[in-house]
Each structure stands twice: as C-alpha cells, then as structure tokens.
Amino acid sequence: MKGFYLYCVRKKSNKKYSMKGIDGKGKIFIIPYQDLGAVVSQIDLEEFESDEIQRKAKEDLNWIKEKAQIHEEVIEEAMAEGSVIPMQFGVVFKNIRSLKQKLANYYEQFKKSLKKLAGKQEWGVRVFLQNEIFKKVIENKDRAVLAEKQKITSMPKGMAFFCPKAS
C-alpha cells in the first residue's frame, strides 16, 4: 500500500525537484493546499510505518542514516526557493485526504511561521569547550556565580557544606 512521506511545508510552488524521494525511487512533488504546499514523495507504507522505522533504528543504523540524509537534502533543496517548515524524520500519511486535513488543521500556524521565517536563514553552530577552562571563566566572570561563591565563602564551614556546588 502506498502513502506519502512529508519533508516540509512551504508556500505553494511549481518547483521541480531534482532528487529522488526517501525510498530512492519515487519523485518529490508538492501537494497544494490553498496557498501552501506540502513537499512529499510517495512511499511504500510497509517500509515506512512507525514500527518498522523503530526496528530499523535499532537494527540498521545505515538505513536510518541514509534516509535521514535524504530527508535533510530534500529540505535543503526546498529551502533554496524560500522559507520552509521542516518536518521531523518519519512523518507519513496514508493518503492525500489525511495530509490535506492536517494542513487544514494547522493552516494558520503554518502561515504565521512562514511569514516569520521569510528572508531568514537557519544556521547551526557547534561549540567545543574545554570543560575546566569554561568552568573557570564562568566562575570568574558571571556576576550571579561570583555572588554565590562570595556568599558561600563567608559562611561558617558547616553551613557552606550544605550549599549546592557546581560540578
């Protein structure tokens, strides 16, 4: 039985997608609803049902990794044309009617979010810290931490023992 895998929601568009869908076979296309478009591909429901995805997450990490990368790449291709509301990995609908019903239920929220996102870009930042150096900077620069340290050091030793300490 066939279903629809949802990648993201965006403004309605006639964009033609260059990549294959999450199953590696199907085309990616847009299902319109009013002035919105759901970016989807048709999939085999047996392969993408929730229990099957959960099983593969435990037993076949390469399958999950490959599918998650496709999911992300489709969203990135959609973003090249404008703002999108990305869906989490694994959002599947059994038919177009249920997908359009979901779009109808959240129509106003999707519209507000797309308006808020217009002209903005998503950036991810990864920070690597040396824990001890970071702790020292926070302990010596943050006013709240400095005040708490001062309070603890001014207490009798027995009372200071009961104060929470940063670990």
pLDDT in tens, 111-143: 999 999 988 777 777 888 788 887 777 777 777
β-bridge pairing 2-11 and 84-86: antiparallel
Q: Could you tell me if 68 and 24 lie in one domain?
A: yes
What's residue 142's pLDDT?
A: 72
Q: Could you tell me if 38 and 74 lie in one domain?
A: yes
Q: Could you tell me if 91 and 150 lie in one domain?
A: no
pLDDT < 50: residue spans in the chain = 160-161, 166-167
Using DSSP's 3-state secondary structure scheme, residue 41 falls into strand
Q: Could you tell me if 21 and 51 lie in one domain?
A: yes
Alpha carbon distance 4, 42 (integer Å): 5
Is residue 126 assigned to a domain?
no
Q: Could you tell me if 31 and 78 lie in one domain?
A: yes
Distances (CA, A) of 99 to 12, 104, 161: 15, 9, 58
Q: Could you tell me if 105 and 23 lie in one domain?
A: yes
End-to-end CA gap in the chain: 54
Report the number of distinct structural domains present in the chain. Answer: 2
Domain hosting 41: range is 2-117
